[in-house]
Amino acid sequence: MRMSRTEEALVAAVCDVAREAGRATLRFHGGPLDVERKADDSPLTAADKAAHTLIVGALRRLTPELPVLSEESDERELTERRQWSNYWLVDPLDGTKEFIKGSGEFTVNIALISGTQPVLGVVHVPVTGVTYWGRQGRGAFRADAGQAPVELHTRPADPERLVIVASRDHAGPRVEALLARLPTAKTANMGSSLKFCLIAEGKADFYPRFQPTSEWDTAAAQCVLEAAGGAVTDTGGRRLAYNKEQLINPSFLAFGDARQDWRALLEERGDG
């Protein structure tokens, strides 16, 4: 399905915003950092703040009719967002812990939420210059720096050759136990929303997540994965939803091949 010129222009503009924010984070990457602690004890750096300010300002200029909710938004916006029907949902620096360690596994995430679902998602990887984007029903794409976009498609799952992605710091005992019982599966550990993108590219199959995440951690990458042919559901099989009363996500399963019964895979091994 082809996008209108207006839609294409919006996608291109949001990708540019994400890239600009990525460049802002790189000014702090690998250098000395003052790390603050938020109320939930998660880290906050000057890079998070710089990317937040840049993205929020750019999106407000681009679409003044749409409110913006960022991980670094103030308490008023966190309360008001329940009244919003359409809005931007942003994680200006996803993978702050990886960023602090000097790793390149951090991303800039920007999603457009309509109702309870992401309809546009952009994930930018500042260190590599790679940008992923997806639009509901319009396909998913990857563009390396200076290269033409390539359309993304998930791959059929081979139960004997699964590649399972897990968080580098937050896999948790349930995922570790599952991996221990799948001797033929390969594991890819990485930070941030890159895990979803690996499945969208057809390089991995399954990302089970039982540790806490927030809506801004998943929205953009969920849209990319879904647009590439995959899905993200809770453990009951319901599509992951947004603008809930609480911003914390339930446990979820992200996968590329919907024909595989991923919940059964967990249940067979006692993880249901």
**Is 158 annotated as contributing to ligand binding?**
no
| CA distances (Å), origin 194, targets 34, 107, 238, 245 | 25, 7, 22, 27
Residue-wise DSSP of 90-107: EEEEE-HHHHHHT-S--E
For residues 61 and 68, give the distance between their C-alpha atoms in angstroms, rounded to a whole number: 11
The shares of helix, strand and coil residues in the chain, as percent rounded to the nearest 5, are: 35, 25, 40
**Is 71 annotated as contributing to ligand binding?**
yes
Output DSSP code: residue 240. Answer: P
The secondary element (H helix, E strand) that includes residue 37 is strand 36-37
Residue 227 burial class via C-beta count within 10 angstroms: exposed 0-12, middle 13-18, buried 19 and up: buried
**Is 169 annotated as contributing to ligand binding?**
no
C-alpha angle 201-215-109 in degrees, rounded to nearest 5: 50
**Is 95 annotated as contributing to ligand binding?**
yes
Contact 14, 62 (CB under 8 A): yes
**Is 271 annotated as contributing to ligand binding?**
no
**Is 105 annotated as contributing to ligand binding?**
no
From the list 1, 42, 6, the residue with the least C-alpha distance to 169 is 42
**Is 91 annotated as contributing to ligand binding?**
yes
Which residues does the annotation place in the binding site for substrate?
71, 93-96, 217
As annotated, the binding site for Mg(2+) includes: 71, 91, 93-94, 217
Q: Which residues are annotated as a binding site?
A: 71, 91, 93-96, 217
